[in-house]
């Protein structure tokens, strides 16, 4: 995926999977919001500082998304490896298995599939 596609997916996940609202940078301290700065999605984390939210590439951000997935499903999703790829399928949709080069991207793609409206 290109950098633009990764950013677009990060924004989509912030809005649709995490349920956050886009706002101005100075308003993200309120929680439940994110801001855009260049190619970065910024959030206010639990440690009371602003940080980048990039679930497609950052393990800490991907874990936030994984927590949301588990809350939605009631269990951990099945993401396995096949060769050098991470393989997954949405258990609620009849679709073929998908793959990703990294675990972070696999979690992000799983979230997009899970939280997409039918």
At 17, which CATH number?
3.30.2120.10
pLDDT for 12 equals 95
Range(s) of the domain holding residue 83: 3-115
Question: Between the CA atoms of 20, 11, 60 and 118, what dihedral angle is there, to the nearest 10 degrees?
Answer: 80
* Pairing outcome for strands 33-37 and 40-44: antiparallel
- Look at the alpha carbons of 14, 20, 25, 28 in this order and tell me if their dihedral is positive or negative: negative
Stretch among 26-35, 52-61, 99-108 having the lowest mean pLDDT: 26-35
Tally of structural domains, the chain: 1
Six-digit token string for 60: 């800490």
pLDDT for 14 equals 95
Residue 81 reports pLDDT greater than 80:
yes
Stretch among 44-48, 74-78, 84-88, 109-113 having the lowest mean pLDDT: 44-48
Residue 29 reports pLDDT greater than 80:
no
CA distance 56 to 7: 8
Does the pTM exceed 0.75? Answer: yes
Q: Where are the alpha helices (DSSP H) in the chain?
A: 3-12, 59-73, 103-115
């Amino acid at each position: 995926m290109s950098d633009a596609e990764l950013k677009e997916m990060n924004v989509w996940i912030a809005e649709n999977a995490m349920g956050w609202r886009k706002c101005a940078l100075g308003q993200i301290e309120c929680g439940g919001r994110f801001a855009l700065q260049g190619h970065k999605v910024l959030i206010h984390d639990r440690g009371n500082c602003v940080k980048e939210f990039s679930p497609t590439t950052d393990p800490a951000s991907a874990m936030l998304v994984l927590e949301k997935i588990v809350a939605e499903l009631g269990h951990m999703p099945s993401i396995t490896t096949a060769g050098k790829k991470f393989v997954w399928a949405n258990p609620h949709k009849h679709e073929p298995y998908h793959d990703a080069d990294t675990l972070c991207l696999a979690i992000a793609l799983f979230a997009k599939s899970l939280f997409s409206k039918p």
